[in-house]
Amino acid sequence: MKTRYVVLVFLSLILFTNISCEEDENNNENDEQVAFTATNYIYEGDLRAYYLETKNTELEAQIAIWQQVPDSDPAYNDAQASIAEANAEIANNEEEASSIVSPSNAFFIINPTFPPLPPPLPCLCLDVFNSIDYIVFQSGNDQGSITITSVTDQSILVNTNPNSTTGTIPNTNDLGSYQSLEFSQYEFTGEAIITVQTDTGSYSILSYFQNP
């Protein structure tokens, strides 16, 4: 009886080990299948940096308006307080923007050479290739999601779930995470709103999708 028990335990260990190995191999294969190229992903840090830059431009324009309020105006003190608040926000945004690491430095495994984008379009927006298949999140964001909405007809081009199709980038000590994207309209071109939800909150930017 003891011998039979030992044999069963031994066989169970072998089976468990084989299953674990197969799962590890499958996970590794899934990670290795993700190949980041120059045009198939977008870095969330770039989106965030553009958002902060746009926000500061808006604040500076508003400051210029408040500065026109004369000191004889009853609203002068409120305008000065708003200017001080806006300047503080600009400083905070600049500090955050300076802390955003480029994708090649943040995740050395991703080091493509980005091709030059076409000349800027008559749109105050971020130029983006429509061939992206992934969004790569900044280090420290364990989960996130992205929604892309067409400006023309408000149709949803991309809508991801933060708990699905998320993977870890190999050789980044689990610091690099990405999420798969799939456009509902193949080779969409035009203006779209990109809304990003991360651990630290959400933000939106205007973008223009174009062919690489």
Helix/strand/coil for 137: coil
Residue 61 is inside which H or E element, if any?
helix 44-66
- What pLDDT shows up at residue 51? 94
Q: What is the pTM of this model?
A: 0.74
* Length of the chain in terms of residues written: 212
- What residue segments make up the domains of the chain, in order of their start? 42-210
Helix/strand/coil for 207: strand
Give pLDDT tens digits along the chain (212 positions).
444 443 333 334 334 444 344 444 444 444 456 777 778 888 888 899 999 999 999 999 999 999 999 999 999 999 999 999 999 999 999 999 998 877 666 555 454 444 455 555 556 788 888 888 888 887 766 567 889 999 999 999 988 765 555 677 766 666 677 888 888 787 788 999 999 887 778 899 999 988 88
Nearest to 195 by CA among 187, 182, 204: 204
2 CB-near residues (< 8 Å, 6+ apart): none
